[in-house]
């Protein structure tokens, strides 16, 4: 079945169930639970079919991540399960980025992390467990959706986000608006990881976005030079190989 036809059928089904709710500007909302998650057996089979190398552990210091908060300071329940995938880039070399995440940062403004980093060779470096809250996006929102734990705090999507960082190329280690881009190995590993996260947590492809798109501080614009067309082909190949094409609901605006 053609991708456009599959997507149209699935969007119609989502609209009928409320999963296609959209916020301002047509951005998909996070106010519903998403799609059904795949079982552990299906996930393990997918990893095997994709031939993925094991993740390499590079844990962050405990100051650089936290728990997914289940309630705000008033005791009200807040969304806390992963519902969104956010792409970033490091600007620094991978090792320097990992060293920074592994260093204790007592001050809130210095704390940062991803759940996972994909280096130039396509290796997946595990920094924070999926069940924990990585500090990938401070003042942030997805459409009109954000989570505020304390009344005086800024809203953030970290409580429901999974953060993946791409190692920048050598010519991307400054503040130029663009650079030479990412390697084919990075696109393949990123596509596979995104698909696995989607299947594990029931996240539709319309909830894959960028740090630039969710940032509300007007200071983040990564990942620069990310090519959706170079991501899309390996994602579709992986989804078809694993039988996970139902998660293809179109992409959020980069």
Distance of CA 133 to the CA centre of its chain: 12
**Contacts with 40 (C-beta within 8 Å, 6 or more apart), sequence order:** none
CB neighbours (10 Å) of residue 51? 8
Residue 208's nearest CA partner among 55, 34, 3, 77 is: 34
The whole-number pLDDT of residue 2 equals 36
The whole-number pLDDT of residue 28 equals 55
pTM to 2 decimal places = 0.88
The whole-number pLDDT of residue 35 equals 94
Length of the chain: 254
pLDDT in tens, the chain (254 residues): 333 333 332 332 332 223 334 443 444 568 787 899 999 999 999 999 999 999 999 999 999 999 999 999 999 999 999 999 999 999 999 999 999 999 999 999 999 999 999 999 999 999 999 999 999 999 999 998 999 998 888 899 999 999 999 999 999 999 999 999 999 999 999 999 999 999 999 999 999 999 999 999 988 999 999 999 999 999 999 999 999 999 998 866 55
The whole-number pLDDT of residue 13 equals 30
User: Is the Cα dihedral 74, 77, 81, 87 positive or negative?
Assistant: negative
How far is the C-alpha of 124 from the C-alpha of 184, rounded, in Å? 14
CB neighbours (10 Å) of residue 78? 15
The whole-number pLDDT of residue 60 equals 98
Instruction: Report CA-CA distances (Å) from 190 to 144, 153, 171, 205, 227.
Output: 26, 32, 21, 13, 12
Decide the pairing of beta strands 161-166 and 84-89.
parallel
> What domains, with CATH codes, occur in the chain?
3-247 (3.40.80.10)
The whole-number pLDDT of residue 29 equals 66
On the question of a cis peptide bond just before residue 223, with omega within 30 degrees of 0, the verdict is yes
């Amino acid at each position: 079945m053609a991708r456009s036809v599959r997507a149209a059928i699935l969007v119609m089904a989502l609209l009928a169930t409320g999963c296609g709710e959209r916020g301002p500007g047509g951005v998909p909302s996070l106010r519903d639970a998403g799609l059904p998650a795949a079982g552990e057996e299906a996930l393990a089979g997918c990893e095997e079919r994709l031939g993925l190398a094991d993740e390499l552990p590079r844990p962050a210091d405990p100051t650089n991540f936290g728990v997914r908060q289940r309630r705000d300071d008033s005791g009200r329940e807040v969304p806390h399960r992963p519902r969104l995938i956010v792409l970033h880039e490091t600007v620094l070399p991978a090792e320097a980025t990992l060293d920074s995440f592994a260093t204790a940062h007592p001050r809130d403004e210095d704390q940062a992390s991803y759940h996972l980093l994909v280096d130039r060779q396509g290796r997946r470096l595990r920094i924070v467990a999926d069940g924990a809250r990585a500090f990938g996006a401070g003042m942030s929102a997805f459409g009109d959706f954000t989570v505020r734990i304390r009344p005086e705090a800024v809203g953030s999507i970290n409580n429901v986000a999974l953060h993946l960082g791409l190692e920048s190329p050598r010519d991307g280690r400054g503040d130029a608006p663009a650079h030479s881009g990412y390697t084919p190995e990075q696109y393949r590993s990123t596509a596979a990881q995104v698909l696995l996260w989607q299947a594990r947590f029931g996240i539709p492809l319309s909830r894959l976005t960028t740090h630039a798109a969710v940032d509300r501080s007007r200071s983040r614009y990564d990942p620069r030079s990310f090519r959706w067309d170079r991501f899309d082909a390996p994602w579709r190949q992986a989804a078809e190989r694993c039988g996970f094409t139902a998660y293809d609901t179109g992409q959020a605006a980069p």
